[in-house]
Amino acid sequence: MDATAASITLADVGKVYPDGTVAVADFSLEVRAGELVVLIGASGSGKSTILRMINRLIEPTRGEITIDGRNVLKQDPVQLRRQIGYVIQNVGLFPHQTVRANVGTVAKLLGWDRKRIGARADELLDLVGLDPARYGKRYPHELSGGQRQRVGVARALAADPLVLLMDEPFSAVDPIVRARLQEEFLRLQAAVRKTIVLVTHDIDEAVRMGDRIAVLAEGGRLLQYATPAELLSRPASAEVRDFVGADRGIRRLAVTPVREVMAALDGAARDGLPTVDAAATLHDALAVMLTDDAATVLVTENGRPVGQVTRTAVFETPAETAV
């Protein structure tokens, strides 16, 4: 298969556990190929259940799930899982196997020869920033929490899956390591462009990582499915607004491009005004304004001024959807 990523569709999916708990009532979502979608919501809202239905660790009680148009419920679950990377909170590395063997697990199950498995494991360790010569022969207990998490990601990517499912992948490490792992992971994702569904309860992580964010309430009720910027500037309901938090205005700055709020150049003197690139965020523009004590910055594209942003415009919130 040439494709490196696949679209995922969940249509009217539900899960009632044998004890009668309706974990997910009726959930639908489309994830585009190569997109990183975050599922976020209160504890018990059904996030993990939804994630695990995609690789059939949990069998849905209703609805249809397709990956690139193929119904996952009609595929052999073991075969299916080998094409889907899965990363969980405490990684679940095999304690008695070396790092290299852990990373090669799925490739081995797929019947690759030893040389190819070894080469692939080293390539993946490199990719997640662990020197194979230094770490390949170690055992999981000889690594830090952050390093273990990287091995988990390398293992999930080893068989080049079309889809990656991640359940609170960064929550077991301290905030500083977490931020670094998130950043590294985004760089990795820019290179491999997998289709990723990531579960978190951390709104900052969702905003930083997600191309789109699905906000869930109890029973897998989908409150809003939107880009981070849209979610923060136009929460669809009071429930979503409460969930994304009081400091959403600040978060919005980090995900809104200056391009979205810039005004036309007004003929007045531009000499000496600080500049930001059109690809920069409002957060960047504000930082420049504060550093240079300026009320206006010029927005440039390929070095030429194309617009301007004022300090007032930075803090203007677009009209919210009525609630």
Least CB distance to ligand ATP at residue 161 (A): 22
Q: Which long-range contacts (CB under 8 A, 24 or more apart) does 229-237 make?
A: 229/255, 229/256, 229/257, 229/260, 231/207, 232/207, 232/256, 233/317, 233/318, 233/320, 234/318, 234/319, 234/320, 234/321, 235/320, 235/321, 235/323, 236/321, 236/323, 237/323
> ∠203-162-93 over CA atoms, to 5°?
70
Position among 1, 43, 264, 268 found at the interface with ligand ATP (CB under 6 A): 43
Nearer to ligand ATP by Cβ, of 17 and 94: the residue is 17
Nearer to ligand ATP by Cβ, of 45 and 102: the residue is 45
Q: Which two tokens stand for residue 252?
A: 């919005």
Nearer to ligand ATP by Cβ, of 59 and 142: the residue is 59
Position among 23, 31, 72, 244 found at the interface with ligand ATP (CB under 6 A): 23
What distance in Å separates the CA atoms of residue 276 and residue 309, rounded to the nearest whole number?
A: 10
SS3 230: helix
Size of interface with ligand ATP, in residues (CB under 6 A) = 13
Strand partners, 120: none
What distance in Å separates the CA atoms of residue 307 and residue 323, rounded to the nearest whole number?
A: 33
Position among 3, 12, 17, 279 found at the interface with ligand ATP (CB under 6 A): 17
Which of the ranges 2-10, 41-49, 268-276, 315-323 carries the binding residues for ligand ATP, by CB under 6 A? 41-49
Least CB distance to ligand ATP at residue 246 (A): 21
Which of the ranges 43-51, 180-188, 257-265, 292-300 carries the binding residues for ligand ATP, by CB under 6 A? 43-51
Least CB distance to ligand ATP at residue 13 (A): 12
Position among 34, 46, 60, 152 found at the interface with ligand ATP (CB under 6 A): 46
Least CB distance to ligand ATP at residue 21 (A): 4
Nearer to ligand ATP by Cβ, of 62 and 283: the residue is 62
Least CB distance to ligand ATP at residue 3 (A): 29
Residue 111 backbone class (left: φ over 0; alpha: ψ -120 to 50; beta: rest): left
Return the residues of window 201-230 that contact ligand ATP according to CB under 6 A: 201
Q: What is the DSSP string of 291-308?
A: HHT-SEEEEEETTEEEEE
Nearer to ligand ATP by Cβ, of 40 and 255: the residue is 40
Q: Is the dihedral of CA 121, 1, 68, 73 positive or negative?
A: negative
- Contact between 283 and ligand ATP by CB under 6 A: the answer reads no
Q: Using alpha carbons, select from 177, 158, 184, 136 the residue that is nearest to residue 87.
A: 158
Which of the ranges 37-45, 83-91, 173-181, 240-248 carries the binding residues for ligand ATP, by CB under 6 A? 37-45
Position among 7, 45, 105, 281 found at the interface with ligand ATP (CB under 6 A): 45
Q: Which two tokens stand for residue 60?
A: 């849905």
Least CB distance to ligand ATP at residue 5 (A): 24
Q: What is the DSSP string of 111-137?
A: T--HHHHHHHHHHHHHHTT--HHHHTT
Contact set with ligand ATP (CB under 6 A): 17, 19, 21, 23, 41, 43-49, 201
